Amino acid sequence: MLDQLPAEAKTVDGIRLHMKQLCEALDALSEGVSKAAPDTVRALLAVRKEIVPVIDERLTKCGELIRRGMRDEAVSRAAEPPALFEAATLLDISSHPRWKTWLAKLAELNIPSPPMPRMDLVTALTAAQD
């Protein structure tokens, strides 16, 4: 599964860097400070669009393990790189203070809004870990 991820998404640090770049590009886009911002945002969102389904697939598999009573196995798999809890949390930008501004600008430019990871499964995994 890890081999399906783009190189920058194989570690939490890589995802963190990617999301930092995306947030900066979304700020530039919404503020209109760069003519290249729409293309930069599209490119970063395309990479992110590859990452989220892989993270969601891992979350789903861990959720299934929990449902089958295999809590330790689920927690162990969630800890494999990139660490699932951190990766999903970094990818979930819907709680960012500028989220609504970014969404409005994306809609204005006909850029699809980015999918969010399954945070409901992160919550379930966190509960299982605790």
Instruction: Give the pLDDT confidence score for residue 22 in this predicted structure.
Output: 97
Report field, pTM of the whole predicted structure over 0.85: yes
Instruction: Give the pLDDT confidence score for residue 5 in this predicted structure.
Output: 67
- How many domains are there within the chain? 1
CA distance 52 to 118: 9
37 close to 108: Cβ distance less than 8 angstroms = no
CA distance 2 to 22: 22
| Number of other CB atoms surrounding residue 125 within 10 Å | 24
CA triplet 129, 88, 58: central angle to 5 degrees? 70
Instruction: Give the pLDDT confidence score for residue 19 in this predicted structure.
Output: 96
Instruction: Give the pLDDT confidence score for residue 2 in this predicted structure.
Output: 57
Question: What's the domain range around 116?
Answer: 2-129
For the chain, 130 residues long, give each residue's pLDDT as a single digit of tens.
556 667 777 899 999 999 999 999 999 999 988 899 999 999 999 999 999 999 999 999 999 999 999 999 999 999 999 999 999 999 999 999 999 999 999 999 999 999 999 999 898 888 877 7
